[in-house]
A and B are shown apart, each in its own frame.
Chain A
């Protein structure tokens, strides 16, 4: 591995629109609203941006598979812009690319924009693109994660009752968040009696299909004060890609995700974290399905494999717990527009570290974690952020 980028890059502004069924907003409307919110927050003019990264998994209709959707939405032309697409890690990976570029010295400032417009597509759930006509036939996003949950439950005896506690916690947090898609609390009974989507996941075990956009502006840490005194520092990033065909890998135990284990190990090494459970004060992790959050506790090194349920059962990841997870409401309640999610998590952690999260503010956080995993388990991206 090359030299560390710890403390070389700062997040000086973030923006996030209201997530949800944004029937009255198109892709460009959401992109522009999020980007200009971040520009405003960073006190930076659009023309001061040196380069940009766009995280979009499924291009909006008519926007094609290129970075032009960012350029056209913001009329930001003649700049180096790249579009990142890396399953559900798309947003965090776009952030990682911008951080690497600024750390390299090539650019002083960069925009990261995550946008996804799903509610103008026909069909159910997330459209499956680029799949093999036979090997993936019958797969859906919940179905793919359910394969892991079924095996995990078989191995460790986890029950749907414990899974439901993740939904209850994240909905409770989301109910406090005005930008969340589903701002309502749910009871364990409602979670357990909801229609099954893909066993063992019922409706409330699944994140919704959501429209949304979020943005962040990063710059060289030594220039950050020029924009904001209360900027946030990037301590480490990690990205790991493993097999996108876990269901054909005879060596895969299906009890967790290697990509998360590897990506977090990279980011922790860069950030100098040795005991994540103790050192991390707040985390936004990828709770696309309730089981995923429990596996994340383990894969991110908070607890040993098979022990994740304890954290939720003991309330330690609740807003008042010693390691609050998904204070935003998580994908579960905030929604999961793929490319926007990772950037939205950066927005949440920056907001928490600045102490500006209002009713969902966790107590005095210094170090925060952002985590995405997709594939399922094929790709994971992790970022560690801290107060300066």
Chain B
């Protein structure tokens, strides 16, 4: 049996109410909010947070491949998957691939992953996605798009949802696109695009998948479609024969349309409300369509579910204006924080800076960071071992620093004692500055730091445990 063994999502802590777009551009807008990155987030960091949720469940020991899918990866040339593999502390022998170019990139990665598992080349695959979606300022898409990350692991053991079948449909339809060099997504959105693009492709792939497996629409527990505008998914699902109750809420009012991040995010949401034996039909659109038919297994009952998507979405900060939303998206496009970092330093320190390894002294038991040649506890040099540090901890002390130049002052600087040992000095993110206390539990997260003249750089921050 091949299937989904874990899933995770990360919706940015920050949102902008759509009403602010109306105020900024003096026009009618939709209801609800869109998810919006903070200045330190991008497609890679959103994907990392989601991947981290999967690895909390399945661990990173058995993962032998990491695929990353996005239409908004931070580099045109430089593998996000390879960086994430290091950040997830996967072995250098693992397989990494990047998928992009289409909103179908996530399901394209899934299709490739299923083939690799079927061929027995891979045993456990992590597929992460992340999207930062920029519509033309002032246009409807700016308000409809959303930012998010999602991830699944695929494998043969402890499968939560078996993959029964796949289908795909290719179409060279001009719906949304971004030329090389375009800062914003181009569209010719209209009823024509919805009907001849979105609806036509999804119905084609949905029908063929159901027919191939002899499944009637009423046998499916949930049909999962990303929605470009909060409406089109419903009409399309109904044309496929589904009833309202079968259609999964695409969270358009809370997130918006998060592109390649949508399929796994919504699949994860569906797995929170389904039971063993349920059939799920996941459809994804973009220059054609992909379909995945899944059956939920008994394993779903064993999965500890500490929080749901609605819990995750309820933890948020609403940006107070359109200007702040824009500032957070563009800050690092206009501000450099550092001179170029040397690739010698980046290579030499990868295990501590990216993999978050520290030194464990076997003599006195002190875990310390960064890697050291001499134990800070007992001065011993002979019993030192490189070990991964935990990604959770507690605030030992902190300050709210208004002097440090940052796009969102004050900067919370915290000293964090990580669980099992090791102490880190980290900026804190995704938090109300007035709501930080000594001893608060935190989670480590990877964020954009030290933007250089030609490089995007990443280092750890912490955020409240949620």
Contacts and interface: CB of A to CB of B under 8 A. Distances in A.
Interface residues of A, number: 34
B396 interface: yes
A250 B366 contact: yes
A135 interface: yes
B401 A143 contact: yes
Contacts of B403: 124-125, 140, 142-143, 197-198
Interface string B347-377: 0000001000000000000111110000011
Contact of B376 (A123, A135, A243): A243
B400 interface: yes
B400 A198 contact: yes
Interface string A128-152: 0000011111111011001111110
A17 to B, nearest CB: 27
Given A247-B423, A247-B425, A248-B369, A151 B399 contact: no
Interface stretch (B54-62, B118-126, B187-195, B407-415): B407-415
A154 B438 CA distance: 7
B424 A248 contact: yes
A250 B449 contact: no
Given A138-B401, A147-B397, A248-B369, A196 B425 contact: no
A195 interface: yes
A139 B400 CA distance: 11
B417 A134 contact: no
A116 B275 CA distance: 71
Given A148-B397, A150-B397, A154-B438, A135 B425 contact: yes
Interface in A137-194: 137-140, 142-143, 146-151, 154
A3 interface: no
A134 B353 contact: yes
A78 interface: no
B368 A248 contact: yes
Contacts of A133: 338, 341, 345, 450, 457
A154 B353 CA distance: 30
A199 interface: yes
Given A147-B399, A150-B438, A138 B423 contact: no
B339 to A, nearest CB: 9
A48 interface: no
A107 interface: no
Contacts of B366: 250-251
B353 to A, nearest CB: 6
Interface in B126-154: none
B376 to A, nearest CB: 6
B397 A138 contact: no
A146 B401 CA distance: 9
B382 to A, nearest CB: 20
Given A135-B425, A250-B417, A150 B399 contact: yes
A202 to B, nearest CB: 10
B402 A198 contact: yes
A196 B400 contact: yes
B423 A134 contact: no
A302 interface: no
Interface string A273-304: 00000000000000000000000000000000
Given A139-B425, A250-B366, A199 B413 contact: no
Contact of A250 (B367, B401, B405): B367
B370 A135 contact: yes
A196 B399 CA distance: 11
A251 B401 CA distance: 24
Contacts of A151: 396-397, 415, 438
Contacts of A134: 353, 449-450, 459
B260 interface: no
Interface centre among A146, A199, A251 (most CB of B within 10 A): A199
Nearest to A195: B402
Interface in A245-285: 245, 247-251, 254
Contacts of A140: 401, 403-404
Interface centre among A139, A147, A245, A250 (most CB of B within 10 A): A250
B7 to A, nearest CB: 31
A150 B421 CA distance: 21
A254 B415 contact: yes
Nearest to B461: A138
A24 to B, nearest CB: 27
B397 A143 contact: no
Interface string B380-400: 000000000000000011111
A151 B398 CA distance: 8
B404 A250 contact: no
B201 interface: no
A142 B397 CA distance: 14
A135 B427 CA distance: 10
B422 A250 contact: yes
Contacts of A136: 425
A147 B413 contact: yes
Interface string A101-134: 0000000000000000000000111000000011
A227 B402 CA distance: 50
Interface of A: 123-125, 133-140, 142-143, 146-151, 154, 195-200, 243, 245, 247-251, 254
26 contacts: A124-B405, A133-B338, A133-B345, A134-B450, A135-B425, A138-B427, A140-B401, A140-B403, A147-B415, A148-B397, A150-B438, A151-B397, A154-B438, A197-B403, A199-B399, A199-B401, A199-B410, A243-B376, A245-B425, A247-B415, A247-B425, A248-B368, A249-B376, A250-B368, A250-B376, A251-B377
